[in-house]
Structure 1
Amino acid sequence: MTDIAPAPTGTAVKHEIYWRETESVTPGAPLREDLRCDVCIVGGGYTALWTAHFLKKADPRLEIVIVEEDYAGAGASGHNDGFVTPTIGHSLGALVHRFGAERAKLAYAAVGKSILELNRFCAKQGIDAEFESAGYYQVASNPDQIRLLERDLELAARLGAQSGLDLLDRARARDRIGSPAIEAAVKVGGALINPHRLARGLFRVVTALPGVSLYEQTRALAVEPVAGGHVVRTPQADVTATKVLYATNAYQHQFAEFRRKVVPVWSYAAVTRPLTDDELGAVHWPEREGFVEAGNFIVFGRLTAGNRLLFGGGRAHYRFRRDMDVPRNIDNPDASEALHAVLRRYFPMWQHVPFTHTYGGCVAITREVVPHVGALGDGRFYAHGFCGNGIALTHTTGKVLRDLILGRDTSYSDLLFVHGKEKPFPPEPLAFLGAGALSSVLAAQDRHPRLIRRQIV
């Protein structure tokens, strides 16, 4: 095994979320007195905040209380890799295979609209989320991956994608991102952001709305039925609400109703020190688009606003009994080495640049590998399973939940991931064994795609 490039002399590699260094957070006070409200939202990430935002725009009279165990955006909302994509679930191919081209087209159009609205929202509200709207490239580094890109282009054409969407050959692709590993590429609409700064900016906007209260450091211990609604129990006080939304994503399994509906899977990333001007000049990368390599277990790279390189992805890691313990799992030397191999493969001219941060975090996966949004039928609602592609999709989901909570029948409440059939995961140890087996099969398909041709997920 090749050693990971060391950090600068005297500086240890940090096993901490890089984005958190870009804006400090002092968590707010916990809930200490009983409250009553119209809607109580459990969780303080993108889903919770967008839902509160859209609910208040639709009905300013609503009283909304949000309870968050840590601070708003502390979960996947604030520590993802900052790719704003139109992807729903695992891939376009899986979505068309399961739901058909027409329903997939409607869903992708809704999420594409959210990408545009995110940019406008940040500009209007003065949120410096380091939004870069150049999009990103899906890239291929071998002939089998080129065939995957060609398949996706065929699917995009079925969904009515613009004729300008085409496959760039090696020369044209490398003229966009000067990597010797890239053999072909397809430009995808999207953006790059600082996810932590987006979460904290959204937090400030939402909590400034009259009638919205957010209590950080407040864990929801249980949700129990009472006359006219439910009560959310927390360590020091209770919230009684007419309606309750579960919006904890990777933590959703901690509630009995969702124990086997969604699982947390560890995904890892690595960030380098800032590149010098001379180092930046060694690679032709004029528009700074991110890139995502085609495959089941994608790897991806991008530049941050401060000209650090961020690499992420690789094989997914499901821990026995849904282990989300951060000190035990945030550092994964094998994953870090795999990401350094990605750096060497794509940018050998930068292989000397050291990682300053290597870390992991959990994303939420459903058995169908698509999100699930719906209602339990008693005034409780839920959303989870964004499968690592939630930045734009949670914005769309906020509109879905607005309409479900307000009892509206709209185009949003009929999107393909709303009220879908939800297959449960098996109990342990079958869930752990099954996840390991599926991961091995998907990895084998990435290595030998011609031997395993059918769509697995």
Structure 2
Amino acid sequence: MANLSQTGPSVQAGIKHSIYWRDTEAVEPGPPLSEDVHCDVGIVGGGYTGMWTAYFLKQADPSLSIHIVEMDYAGAGASGHADGFVTPTIGHSLAGLVHGFGTERAKTAYAVVGRSMLELDRFCRKHDVDAELEPNGYFSVATSEAQLRLLRRDVDLAERIGARNSLQLLDREQARERIGSPAIHGAFKVGGALLNPHRLARGLARVVRGMGVHLHEQTLATSVTKENGKHVITTSGGRVVADRLVLGTDAYQHGFRPFRHRVKPVWSYAVVTEPLTDEQLAQVHWPDREGFVEARNFIIFGRFTADNRLLFGGGPAPYFYGRDMAESRHMRRDEATEFLRGALARYFPAWRDLRIAYSYGGCVGMTRDFVPHVGSTEDGVHYAYGYCGNGIALTHTAGKILRDLILERDSTYSNLLFVNRKERRFPVEPLSWVGAKGLTALLAFQDRHPNLIKRQLV
């Protein structure tokens, strides 16, 4: 693995420190809000959460008037810079969910998110959204005997929640027949898909606009208040006065006072190579193009893009003091580039000299208990955040939950394990920063020395 202290001159010249996905489809933001409006539902946040909520509300009741305000363009946040894995994972891990909530509640939640994975494919086909979706799933892989124990544990847990038939633990040779990496010691296949998150977000924006949803891009919400029984979203261009309010800003949710200490923005990094030539592709046996995720606390993952680039991501996920989310300071992180270059070389020595075209980071929303939270406050504010880096399918599910909460439906969705659940809060600064540094060090130590700390930490 690359030495994390190697920064600066060791980093390849000519790398673009911008999000690769944004270059796959040009964005022409819609007009910002320019007047006061009144509506049934006002939504802050034009990412997956806000748009799926609007989509499902309009399906349930086309007469609803819905306005979404988004400070940049729809999908500019975590929705558009995700790594494109459509997974059933809820929070950080299956083990954490089963141990924290019990087998039956975990089983129900995984079944519902699994349904969302299937419906994403149907949505793209129905609405002609070219999200470059490949329904080939991914492998959870082990690169050591300790990680193999984690895979065996997850297979056993999957059996407990009824998914055993879809999981077969492959040994070293069987796994390398699927992904020809000398680093892989074992693997099991997980259902799901790979897609282009930016193109999905832009396609979803077009669909909800076509349904009559008012999507105001480049419209920053400067305050959210309640006046005369109505929720008021104030922006520089006007006010949205709504009967119901949804806050769906994930890593930005801490900007609203009631949620200040409930979610923390953590940075996740990725590198993307130049497109591989046919000759380069032939150097590694990877016939079905599945992605893979390494079984560790700070996961490492890899996948192909639609134009045959190799995307590698993961590794240390830093939190910066004061919830600092400034791209100007943190989009480029040379030690992350070198770490991921080292991971790529470890997995695929034949590709160790591939040129890195993009290296970038973005924030994901983390909660104290490592599961998302969806619900309603006593003041009638509906919310969803904290997908912990696994939000593509989960946000689809969250949209259905918020639909049912807003329409006051008692349903499977409104009773899922992460709905209206009491939350543990992060401490104030500097304790929050100190705690993050300590937990990061402990999790990294466990990744390096798994036999010394065998207990599940998160």
**TM-score with structure 2 setting the length:** 0.97
CA shift for structure 1 position 454: 1.4
TM-score, normalisation: structure 1: 0.98
> Given the alignment, which residue of 6, 10, 24 partners 2:12?
6
Structure 2 counterpart of 1:197, from 185, 188, 199: 199
1:404 maps to: 405
Structure 1 residue matching 2:268: 3-state secondary structure: strand
Q: 1:430 is aligned with what amino acid? A: L
Offset of 1:453 from its aligned partner? 1.6
Give the secondary-structure state (helix, strand or coil) at the position aligned to 1:186.
strand
How many residues end up aligned between the 2 structures? 452
Look up the match of 1:375: 376
Q: Which amino acid aligns with 1:190?
A: G
Q: Contact 1:5–1:354 at 8 Å: present in 2 too?
A: no
- Is the 8 Å Cα contact of residues 5 and 352 (structure 1) preserved in structure 2? no
Q: CA deviation at 1:307?
A: 0.2
| Aligned position for 1:386 | 387
Identity, % of aligned positions: 62
Q: Give the equivalent residue in structure 2 for 1:148.
A: 150
Cα drift, residue 160 of structure 1: 1.1
User: Is the Cα–Cα contact under 8 Å of residues 5 and 355 in structure 1 kept in the other structure?
Assistant: no
Residue 227 (structure 1) shift: 1.5
Aligned to 1:341: 342
Native 8 Å contact 1:4 1:336 kept in 2: no
Match of 1:84 among 70, 86, 108: 86
Give 1:5 deviation, angstroms: 6.8
The offset of 1:339, in angstroms, is 0.1
Query: 1:20 maps to which residue?
Result: 22
Alignment partner, residue 39 of structure 1:
41
SS in 2 for 1:243: strand
SS of equivalent residue, structure 2 residue 274: strand
Structure 1 residue 135: deviation in Å?
A: 0.3
Name the counterpart of 2:418.
Answer: 417
* Candidates 44, 50, 53, aligned match of 2:52: 50
Say which SS state the counterpart of residue 116 (structure 2) adopts.
helix
User: Match of 1:238?
Assistant: 239
Q: Distance in 1 between matches of 2:168 and 2:67?
A: 47
Q: Give the secondary-structure state (helix, strand or coil) at the position aligned to 1:16.
A: coil
> Do the aligned partners of residues 6 and 32 (structure 1) sit closer, same or farther apart at CA in structure 2, a change above 3 Å counting?
same
Q: Distance in 2 between matches of 1:284 and 1:166?
A: 20
Mapped to 1, the partners of 2:308 and 2:163 lie a distance apart of 32
Question: Which digits, 9 at most, give the CA deviation of each residue in 1:247-277, with x for residues without a partner?
Answer: 0000000110100000100000000000000
Q: Is the 8 A contact 2:30 2:216 kept in 1?
A: yes
Q: Could you tell me which residue of structure 1 aligns to residue 279 of structure 2?
A: 278
SS in 1 for 2:332: coil
Q: CA–CA distance in 1 between the matches of 2:42 and 2:101?
A: 32
The 2-side partners of 1:163 and 1:127 are apart by: 32
Aligned to 1:127: 129
**Match for residue 206 of structure 1?**
208
> What residue is the counterpart of 1:173 in the other structure?
175
TM-fit CA distance, 1:378: 2.3
Is 2:310 aligned against 1:304? no
In structure 2, what is the Cα distance between the partners aligned to 1:409 and 1:347? 50
Aligned residue identity for 1:115: M
Please tell me whether the aligned partners of residues 155 and 164 of structure 2 are also in contact (alpha carbons under 8 angstroms).
no
Superposed displacement of residue 224, structure 1: 0.8
5+ unaligned residues in a row in structure 1: which ranges?
A: none
Match 2:70 to one of 65, 68, 71: 68
In structure 2, the partner of 1:288 is: 289
Shift of 1:290: 0.2
- Structure 2: give runs of 5+ residues left out of the alignment: none
**1:204 counterpart letter in structure 2:** R
Are the aligned partners of 1:85 and 1:115 in contact in 2 as well (CA < 8 Å)? yes
8 Å CA contact 2:11, 2:338 repeated in 1: no
Would you say the 8 A contact 1:242–1:379 is kept in 2? no
Q: Secondary structure at the match of 1:321?
A: coil
In the TM superposition, residue 236 of structure 1 has moved relative to its aligned partner by: 2.1
